[in-house]
Amino acid sequence: MAGVFDNPVLPYFAFYATMVVLKTMAMSFVTTFHRRTKGVFANPEDVGIAPGKGKIATDESVERVRRCHLNDLENVIPFVLVGLLYTASGPSLSSALLHFRIFTGARIFHTIAYLFALPQPSRGLSFLVGYLATLSMAYNVLSSAKY
């Protein structure tokens, strides 16, 4: 009987899932960078990081990064969870790679579109493409389920 680590799709899923998780994690540092350079913080204890110029406030560039990060969290976590189930359901390698690459590319483009304020519908379409890739994997999991 073949083990879970004999699954030819798993290393590819691990690669693409790690890529989007690391991208999501990197957004924390982008937020910190924007907060430090703008001197705006969310908590009183953080104001001491930038003595003399720090204040509790909001800034559009900080909020834009935070919204992008939140959108990543809302999409990357379902991708990882559904992707694990999808990988375990035995998809063909070519189909799996197509799903993983589409999602990863869509999320990277979504971040670029969000951070550089590219005109709509670029951000909306990239969100939709990634979302549909996850839905497609979920459909495949459900249609291959033995219930």
pLDDT at 32 over 50: yes
Give the per-residue pLDDT at 47: 76
Give the per-residue pLDDT at 52: 64
Query: Among 13-22, 57-66, 134-143, where is mean pLDDT lowest?
Result: 57-66
Give the per-residue pLDDT at 4: 57
Residues listed for the chain: 147
What pTM, to 2 d.p., does this model score?
0.89
- Taking residues 9-33, report their average pLDDT: 96
For domain 7-144, give the fold: Four Helix Bundle (Hemerythrin (Met), subunit A) (1.20.120)
Residue with tokens 């960078």: 33
Q: 8: how many CB neighbours lie within 10 A of its CB?
A: 12
What are the extents of the domains in the chain? 7-144
Distance CA 73, CA 142 (A): 23
